[in-house]
Structure 1
Amino acid sequence: MIQEEGSGWRLSRDPSRPVFSVLIGGEHWALELKESEACELASLFADLTDQHRSICAQLMAEESISIELERGSWWVCLEGDRSRWTLRGICSGDGDQARGFEVCWPDPAAQAIAEAMRTLWDNSND
């Protein structure tokens, strides 16, 4: 079982749980994800933060950006400036039994959850 948390975020993964093995959370909310949903979200967050990192040097101090990605059932967005940003995601689900939900982490929790999810993604692909 992997369990991490900090101010304004939490992440837990328990592969022994049959359906919803990953828990993500914010300041006053939490929800359980299927392994496939969590891996897709972690991959998207990694792509967002990589894109942000690659264009940071081009941004002036007062400039802000919004980067959006959509893949599978997820839409995600990183909004902010060179050093401070938020993360938002919407999962629309697939099929008749699908769930829909929205997640959001403000700065600085966004950076922490993105890094924790990147670690989760990297470890699950080893």
Structure 2
Amino acid sequence: MERVIKTGVGWRLGWNPNAEEFKGLVAGEGWAIELTEAELNDFCRLLGQLAAAMSQMASELMDEEKIAIEAESDLLWLELEGYPEAYSVQLILNAGRRCEGFWPARSAPGLVEAAKVLKVF
């Protein structure tokens, strides 16, 4: 199986099934973090869940109402903040390297879509 790198405006996601420890990659503008397979799986799963929740809240919010929603696993914490149609994404690794990452609202749509299909072959 070959490695996969997906890129978009202000983001990169990577998957290398042949890597020894860090099979995943998340990156923004000027930064990158290698992830274990479990961390990458949690990142993709939680990002998809939060993005779906953000979309579902669209009908319940006032037009100018900002929200922040978060989800956490043993490995990482994610937060989406902003409007249902334009939100930023923040990542904090809870274990090991204790890294942080951030994607602005213009990067989030592509990041969310890529996370859904990164490991689907």
Q: Give the TM-score, by structure 2 length.
A: 0.92
Q: How many angstroms apart in 2 are the aligned matches of 1:116 and 1:79?
A: 19
Gaps of 5+ in 1: none
Q: Which residue of 2 aligns with 1:117?
A: 115
Gaps of 5+ in 2: none
- Describe how 1:1-126 pairs up with structure 2 within 5 A: 1-93=3-95, 98-120=96-118, 123=120
Q: How many angstroms apart in 2 are the aligned matches of 1:53 and 1:17?
A: 35
Contact 2:13 2:118 in 1 (8 A): no
Q: Which runs of 4+ in 1 moved over 4 A?
A: none
Number of equivalences: 119
Bigger RCO of structures 1 and 2 (CA < 8 A, at least 6 apart): 2
Question: What is the identity, as a one-letter code, of the residue corresponding to 2:86?
Answer: R
Q: How many angstroms apart in 1 are the aligned matches of 2:43 and 2:31?
A: 17
Q: Give the TM-score, by structure 1 length.
A: 0.88
Q: How large is the Cα RMSD of the aligned pairs?
A: 1.3
